[in-house]
Every structure is written in C-alpha cells, then in structure tokens.
Amino acid sequence: MPFQTYIDQIAERVDRLLLRHDELQRVNQLLEAQATALRLERDHLRQQCAAARLRVDALLARLPQDQEEPKA
C-alpha cells in the first residue's frame, strides 16, 4: 500500500472521528439540558406535594375527634 494512500485513510478516519465527537457533544448538551429541566420539574412537584400535604394535615386537624358511641 502506498504511503500516501495510508495517510489518506488515516486522515479520513480522523475526520469521521471528529465529526462523531462533535455530534456526541451536541447530544450530550441536549441531554444535560433535559436532565436540568427534569430536575427543576421534580423539585417543583415535590414542593407542590409538600404544600398539599400541609393543607391536608391542616384540614384533618380541623375535623372533630372521633367519639366512641356507646355500645348497646
């Protein structure tokens, strides 16, 4: 195999690797953005759940206590 052909093949493979690397970096950035958005959504849902739990607890505290009925 002539030396120049060998160098051309290596150069072509390096070019493909660089393109793949760029593509993977773009995909990684998109995935990082999605992960950040999901973390924010999760945190928001946790806050909503905690607030709802507090409201339910407050409502339960306002209910009259169960009184046992005399058994006949």
Q: Percentage of the chain with pLDDT > 70? A: 93
For the chain, give every domain's residue range.
Answer: 26-58
**How many whole angstroms separate alpha carbon 41 and alpha carbon 34?**
10
The per-residue pLDDT for 70 is: 66
**How many whole angstroms separate alpha carbon 18 and alpha carbon 24?**
10
**pLDDT single digits (tens) 2-36:** 888 999 999 999 999 999 999 999 999 999 999 99
**How many whole angstroms separate alpha carbon 52 and alpha carbon 25?**
40
Q: Which one, of 66, 49, 46, 45, lies nearest residue 57 by Cα?
A: 49
**How many whole angstroms separate alpha carbon 60 and alpha carbon 58?**
5
For residues 39-57, average pLDDT: 98
Question: 7 — alpha (psi -120 to 50), left (phi > 0) or beta?
Answer: alpha
For residues 33-46, average pLDDT: 98
For residues 49-59, average pLDDT: 97
